[in-house]
Amino acid sequence: MTTSDTPVPPFEPELDAPLRAILDGRPSLTPELIPDRRAASKAASLSDAEIRRGGAFTTAERLVPGPHGDVPLLLCLPATGPGPHPVVYHTHGGGMVAGHPRSSELVGELDRAQATGCAVVAVDYRLAPEHPDPIPVEDCYTGLVWLAANAAELGLDPTRIIVSGNSAGGALAAGLALLARDRGGPALLGQFLQFPMLDDRCASPSAVRMETVGMWDGRSNRTGWTALLGERRGTGEVSPYAAPARATDLSGLPPAYLEVGSVEALRDEGVEFATRLWRAGGRAELHVWSGAFHSFDEWVPDARISRTAHHTRVGWLRRLLATR
């Protein structure tokens, strides 16, 4: 039996029907569909009022000069409680080709921030294919360095910065942890990697078997990586800061929270990355949500498994923050 013929795990019953409805109007991502994905993401932007949550947060924006131009940052700062506050540095998802700081992913970051007393700073990095690697990760690193340097005046704690991202944002967050280590940059407290895109080679058993299964399937994954890397995708010319699975040394990295669904193309590379972090002597907490698809909780937030995932994430963050 070949990898492409092996059985697919069943979906969680609460997720199965909603996923079918979602996929009915959302085909696999191909290059010609990138403008549609961008438009859909933009249409779902959160307003300032939605971000402020009735006075829980204040909002502000900054432009940070970087090597490839100015990098916009969205600041979501706790309006109450004693500072300095820990801060989550949010790198949004969107397959490297879509998304923005005010996308629906920010809802989850703000939920966790409210539960843990954190601020959220979200970076508006430039998108592929117009802005290929290394521009996206360098934009994100520019914002991270600025945040660490200016945290105190914002009422934030520069010793408690957690990089966080979902999907493409997970790749960027993991890339930032590697960059900060290798450049002697900000000392990060943790890395929070949700359903991360980690490997441009797209050749794991789950990627092959789920070529057209679930959300962000193998075909979509190749589209995103090819947009970012072009002809370099899958070759020996790919930087670990772009595709963190390429890193040969995972030692000296901050503690990681890493999660995937059992029914998603990115499952096996996520499990392998956590395993390699352990082998390098690092701290990593891995969750494989049984019967779950990519970013399931964002799409079906009221499912029991989604609520369980939220409480698990908050628990990890609280334990991490208690270490410093």
**pTM, full prediction:** 0.97
Please, what sign has the CA dihedral across residues 314, 11, 17, 218? positive
pLDDT for 81 equals: 84
| Per-residue pLDDT, 3 | 54
Query: What integer pLDDT is reported at residue 4 of this predicted model?
Result: 59
The tens digit of pLDDT for each residue in 56-94 reads 999 999 999 999 899 999 999 999 888 899 999 999 999
Which portions of the chain are predicted below pLDDT 70? 1-4
158 half-sphere exposure, CB direction, 13 A CA radius: 14
